[in-house]
Structure 1
Amino acid sequence: MIRFRLQELITDKSFKENRRITIGEVAAETGINRMTLSKMINHKGYSTVTDNLDKLCSYFDCELVELAEYLPVKQDD
């Protein structure tokens, strides 16, 4: 499963810039729908398009590995 680290990136950027950054601001700056960003933060296993990943990496000035991480899912035998 892929887990998005969007909330962590927002927190880090807020700290670095010494101001509060909202999902609404990220949505306005990236052109990604606010609901999509909310789902990326709150819904386990949410899937999005690569264009959104590109926009977020550009906005946060980060590599893809900083935006998302792979978590193995245990398979029941």
Structure 2
Amino acid sequence: MIKCHLSRIMGERKLKIVDVARDTGINRGTVTRLYHETASRVELEVVAELCRYFDCQVGELFEYVPLSKRSE
């Protein structure tokens, strides 16, 4: 499974979903789904814009977690 760290990053910077959506131009629903980790897919342009906005690498935003670790 892919874990999205958007909520942690936003929390550290005290940002709200509406702030990120407004500042990046990303649809608020998309930001919400990523924040709550309910997104099943994400456009590469969205990933690129989030990385630009947060000045981070893709690996800081997303993490691969093997299914066996998820149940531990």
Residues 35-66 of structure 1: CA deviation (Å, up to 9, x unaligned) = 11111122446310111000000110111111
Indicate the residue corresponding to 1:13 in structure 2: 13
SS of corresponding position for 1:8: helix
Query: Deviating runs (4+, > 3 A) in structure 1?
Result: none
SS of the counterpart of 1:3?
strand
Conserved in 1, the CA contact under 8 Å of 2:4 and 2:37? no
Please give the alpha-carbon distance, in whole angstroms, between the structure 2 residues aligned to 1:4 and 1:46.
Answer: 11
Q: Which runs of 5+ in 1 are unaligned?
A: 15-20
Identify the residue that residue 73 of structure 1 maps to in structure 2: 67
Q: Report the counterpart of residue 57 of structure 2 in structure 1.
A: 63
Aligned residue number for residue 35 of structure 1: 29
| CA RMSD across the alignment | 1.4
- The TM-score, its normalising length taken from structure 2, stands at 0.83
Matched, 1:22 2:22: no
Unaligned ranges ≥5, structure 2:
none
Is the CA contact (8 Å cut-off) linking 1:2 and 1:45 kept in structure 2? no
The CA distance in 1 between the partners of 2:23 and 2:10, in whole Å, is 13
